[in-house]
Chain A
């Protein structure tokens, strides 16, 4: 089983105070911690588990610059066999179509049975790269995958739907699957583990090497244009509850009861 996992380094915005850049094109990342996209981490763990059961190799790929190398090293330390980086200025400002084009080139260079990607990214949250990549490759795909069962040349997956539903699908390989968090419990990656793979070579490919013309990748392949980024105005629904902790707790309980939260 040859598996390709697409990963991305993202700034951690979950608990941080996000500040917009002056021109409104993005956020200030200077004071933000960054690391592997959470969904991608589950995808890498899943790929390694499949390898541990069925054999084969796991390759991780990212589109980025030297700045993203730590994320690839982390994947190698987790147990991935190879890592590939595509570095080209044209990817700056690329939309999911432009990114998927680049990844399509990587996938096409190997003989992969399975491509895994995070269901979405923690920064832009498009959830598009996987499906678009499947489209470019002409492979079937499934999104929001919460379990994977391999049987020969087919794969049975479950998908997480709204309302607590699960959908079961059978898909012919090769296929693209986008992974939902919670599919597994990713292992911890120690600094010692990362140090042990620090000498492993990570080839940095330029698009021409994988047969991609400069005009068809990155921002040049964009089909979406971001026109703005804003912090929504604070709503008026919020109510500040005042009082001692006991009083606050009592009021919260009343509100929850009133709205049918508890019997």
Chain B
């Protein structure tokens, strides 16, 4: 008996026409990919932090784990479309190899091949059908649909459908000595009710239609939303390779482009799924910022500027709209609303970071000088002049410690552990309680430390956040110099902003910071309390909820230390808000937002406080000066005074110290 196989071009003539069209389509596709590559290459190069996580990259790219997160149906839809498409694409490529080079699709292998391709076709059509249902019937929360989405889905569906039709007509017309394991094809062959000559004619017609649609898809691929197949894979790989956009001032000065290679890849990788806008605190508060739009408009702008001329230009005039061009009203410019909470980045299945792109746009605005909100300018000028954002005189930096015996490095104390207080804790009269509490705890626990005193300057985390890289670098260098000068080996700070920038940006800037241990005060407290050297007393039964500061939690993965501290305080019961840990809602104060006027509606912090009140807790505990100030204000403005209070984690511990808080 003849071995099962399929004759390529069975019933089809004019092969040269097909191959000519295929060559043209492939050439257009390769040209498009080349242009994309050139576009990405026009960006500046980022550097690596070191390390590589291949598992994560492969899982996200091939198993779509990051799409399943929080949206299982979305994951199934994507897996069906992606794997259906990939199997059919490479299956067809295999048959070409079989035709031209080595014949191997014979016998059982052919039968398996035929079956797998049939299943892939079903998966693809099912995936597309699900995608349609999600877009047009279920209408998933905040999903944005543009004409292009409908087009690409329709194209995929059409190709799969015509593929099955061609197969069905062939099976109807062909008399095979074996039964092909192609259930859908067999079914179509059966229900078509065509005679053999009719089936032959229908096969020929639909074969060419199927071929034309498939070749069109290949040509259209790099110019359509499908580019995300490449761009998202590249971006996830870059994420796994731990690239970061930190540059020294010298490097930044030599830049010839606005964005980095990775920023441009991100713009092409975005499929407008809008997951970022669903979690963005600014979007939630109905402010002008949508991270998705920023990426979309940045992409349009950069592609036009980069001369990627074949891009669809529809709505292209909006490219120079507010997100990027000189804003008419600086105060309404969306880029100033980003709190750098990092939720967009965490939520994005393709590891796109709108936050980073926004930072670059801000850097361009700051360098231009004219489109910077006045409050931000004043804050920057304060940091430049006074080394703190609150126009606090240098001589008053130690006011918080009045009456306490605190060793000061700039006044001769010799200690290897530095307690970095931070500007807001040092100058804000209410928040001065926090470093005072920390000092009381350290003393009770016998932890040796000293502060920088007059040598302490703003950590400048949010200075970098608003794009003033020059000022950031100057102040950061001054701080590292001070740490070096006093031989500091460990830094403990109550401020997550300092903690973040010391561990990340400072470490990229100066090697000596890599040698230093940096702890947020909640980590130091966790160690102290776990050691049992401090017996805390019960100051009454209280229910508290913990608000994760973004720069401690989501941006640096420290969720358990503060919770362990709270659980070690006798009488304290911890309840969680719906949005906690990595899903925590920002207080609205990061990324320079402390100095940007909020929108008209309910403020981000008010939304957060409402959520905290909903847990039944009487105290919102946080561990960040900005979170504290924002939520403390929000308790008043949202009318929750008397129902809930805001406290810093150090205050809560200090209150339970034996004999009360002692200086």
Contact = CB atoms under 8 A, between A and B. Distances in A.
Contact of B393 (A15, A34, A192, A193): A15
B471 A190 contact: yes
A187 interface: yes
Interface string B461-474: 00000001111011
A185 B371 CA distance: 11
B interface bracket (residues with beta carbon within 8 Å of A): 20 to 34
Nearest to A78: B369
Contacts of B560: none
10 contacts: A17-B395, A31-B395, A35-B381, A185-B374, A190-B366, A191-B470, A191-B471, A192-B367, A192-B469, A196-B253
Nearest to B373: A188
A189 B372 CA distance: 10
Contacts of B470: 190-195
A33 interface: yes
Interface string A155-193: 000000000000000000000000000000101111111
A231 interface: no
A188 B249 contact: no
Given A33-B385, A35-B385, A195-B249, A190 B367 contact: yes
Nearest to A193: B367
A interface bracket (residues with beta carbon within 8 Å of B): 20 to 34
Nearest to A34: B385
B380 interface: yes
Given A191-B384, A192-B252, 20 more contacts: A16-B393, A31-B394, A33-B394, A35-B384, A185-B374, A188-B377, A188-B380, A188-B381, A190-B468, A190-B470, A191-B468, A191-B469, A191-B470, A191-B474, A192-B249, A192-B253, A192-B366, A192-B367, A193-B369, A194-B470
Interface in B377-418: 377, 380-381, 384-386, 391, 393-395
| Chain B interface mostly | helix
A34 B370 CA distance: 23
A216 interface: no
Contacts of A185: 374
A188 B253 contact: no
A33 B386 CA distance: 6
The 7 closest A-B pairs by CB, nearest first: A191-B470, A187-B369, A33-B385, A192-B470, A188-B369, A188-B377, A188-B372
A33 B390 CA distance: 13
Interface string B607-626: 00000000000000000000
A30 to B, nearest CB: 9
Contact of A189 (B252, B369, B469): B369
A32 B474 CA distance: 19
B391 A188 contact: no
A87 interface: no
B394 A195 contact: no
Contact of A195 (B253, B380, B384, B391): B253
A69 interface: no
Nearest to A14: B391
A238 to B, nearest CB: 20
A12 interface: yes
B510 to A, nearest CB: 18
Interface in B245-299: 249, 252-253
B331 to A, nearest CB: 12
Contacts of B395: 17, 31
A195 B391 CA distance: 24
Contacts of B385: 12, 33-35
Contacts of A192: 249, 252-253, 366-367, 469-470
A32 B252 CA distance: 31
Nearest to A189: B369
Contact of A17 (B366, B393, B471): B393
A34 B468 CA distance: 20
Nearest to B366: A190
Contacts of A194: 470
Contact of B473 (A12, A15, A34, A191): A191
B367 to A, nearest CB: 5
Q: Which of A34, A187, A194 has the most B CB atoms < 10 Å from its CB?
A: A187
Contact of A188 (B366, B386, B473, B474): B366
B239 to A, nearest CB: 28
Contacts of B249: 191-192, 195
A27 to B, nearest CB: 13
Given A15-B393, A194-B470, A195-B470, A187 B370 contact: yes
Interface string A23-40: 000000001111100000
A31 B393 contact: yes
Q: Which of A17, A185, A195 has the most B CB atoms < 10 Å from its CB?
A: A195
Contacts of B474: 191
Interface in B155-203: none
Contacts of B393: 15-17, 31-32
A33 B384 CA distance: 9
Contacts of A34: 385
Interface in B394-446: 394-395
Contacts of B381: 35, 188
Contacts of A193: 367, 369, 470
A17 B395 CA distance: 9
Q: Which of A15, A17, A188, A196 has the most B CB atoms < 10 Å from its CB?
A: A188
Contacts of A15: 391, 393
A191 B377 CA distance: 12
A37 B559 CA distance: 47
A35 B394 CA distance: 15
Nearest to A191: B470
A210 B252 CA distance: 40
Interface in A181-225: 185, 187-196
Nearest to A33: B385
B247 to A, nearest CB: 11
Interface in A26-69: 31-35
A164 B381 CA distance: 30
Interface string A81-101: 000000000000000000000
A129 B453 CA distance: 40
Interface in B206-225: none
Contacts of A196: 253
Nearest to B470: A191
Contacts of B366: 188, 190, 192
A15 B385 CA distance: 12
A216 B504 CA distance: 58
Nearest to A185: B374
A12 B367 CA distance: 24
B641 to A, nearest CB: 11
Q: Which of A17, A33, A191, A194 has the most B CB atoms < 10 Å from its CB?
A: A191
A185 B369 CA distance: 11
Contact of B369 (A12, A32, A190): A190
A200 to B, nearest CB: 14
Interface in B225-249: 249
Nearest to B249: A195
Nearest to A12: B385
B391 to A, nearest CB: 5
A185 B252 CA distance: 27
A257 B533 CA distance: 58
A80 B473 CA distance: 25
Contacts of A195: 249, 253, 470
A201 to B, nearest CB: 19
